[in-house]
A and B are shown apart, each in its own frame.
Chain A
């Protein structure tokens, strides 16, 4: 009996730990990009050019990465749900760097106007006609 207990107790603990980890992994929220440090920093103009020159290479280098992009605000829009999207000037009249912000960032964005230089941190998701950044926040 004692021996059985000796085997069963660790086994039970192991099962509990596995179940606990499973539950944790299943419910884990997506990472808060605001808490993460950026892998690299680049100017909006250079980022667009890299994507336009070689999209596959730029995808490999930037997509899924947390990056800081600097540039001048070209336009800004807040939708009905309070989500703000900001476009950074790239010098190309047809394409910008589009940054979609966390809803909680809306108050900070109220201080920003068209023509202001900004630094935006977010996750790069790739290029359509614009290069797109998700889960953005303003950084100093």
Chain B
């Protein structure tokens, strides 16, 4: 009887450990484009961190605004000082869930379409966002790809009327992360 209980206990512990399978990256790529026909405005950040739980589908992304790189120095200054106010709001964080995580087989290589719902915290404003993306499983590593748009006004990001032809009212955000299993 004691041996049986021990067996059950070990089984419970191992399954709960197994269900805690998490994937992590500290060099995620997050880029945005807010350009118009008049001017190309884009920035890229290659040090975003992201973690997700392969069982529950809980997913998080975090990025430092000061880490966005631009083609032009002035663009970076305006981004940090006028638009994002990076000293006041140094981070942007997304917390959400892959709602159809049960459709992803992490034991089998392939591309799986996923839907992510959650809250984007940017420029001191929290708003719900939802987007479709892809999870690509290849052995122990998983790659995520997603693209979505945000309305800058929703996040209290004000575009001065002087440059309103140059800066788009919406920004397209692209996410590309290469995860490895968290041990």
Contact = CB atoms under 8 A, between A and B. Distances in A.
Our verdict on whether A and B bind, yes or no, reads yes
Interface of A: 25-31, 59, 63-64, 77, 79, 83, 85, 87, 96, 98, 100, 125-130, 132, 134-135
B47 A31 contact: no
Given A98-B26, A98-B27, A100-B27, A130 B49 contact: yes
Contact of B72 (A29, A130, A134, A135): A29
A67 B38 CA distance: 37
Given A30-B73, A134-B47, A125 B27 contact: no
Interface of A, secondary structure class, is mixed
A98 B47 contact: yes
A135 B47 CA distance: 11
B47 A100 contact: yes
9 contacts: A26-B72, A27-B72, A77-B178, A100-B46, A125-B47, A128-B63, A128-B64, A129-B49, A130-B49
Given A100-B46, A125-B64, A129-B49, A30 B27 contact: no
Contacts of A87: 26
Contacts of B46: 79, 83, 85, 100
Given A77-B27, A85-B26, 9 more contacts: A30-B70, A79-B178, A85-B27, A85-B46, A87-B26, A126-B67, A132-B64, A134-B66, A134-B69
B90 A59 contact: yes
Interface in B28-69: 29, 46-47, 49, 62-64, 66-67, 69
A135 B90 CA distance: 18
A48 to B, nearest CB: 13
Interface of B: 26-27, 29, 46-47, 49, 62-64, 66-67, 69-74, 76, 87, 90-91, 178
Contact of A25 (B74, B76, B91): B74
Contacts of B64: 125-128, 132
A96 B63 CA distance: 16
A86 to B, nearest CB: 10
Nearest to A95: B26
Nearest to B80: A64
Nearest to B67: A125
A28 to B, nearest CB: 5
Contacts of A130: 26, 49
A63 B89 CA distance: 13
Nearest to A28: B73
A85 B67 CA distance: 13
Contacts of B67: 100, 125-126, 132, 134
Nearest to B51: A129
Contacts of A98: 26-27, 47
Contacts of B49: 128-130
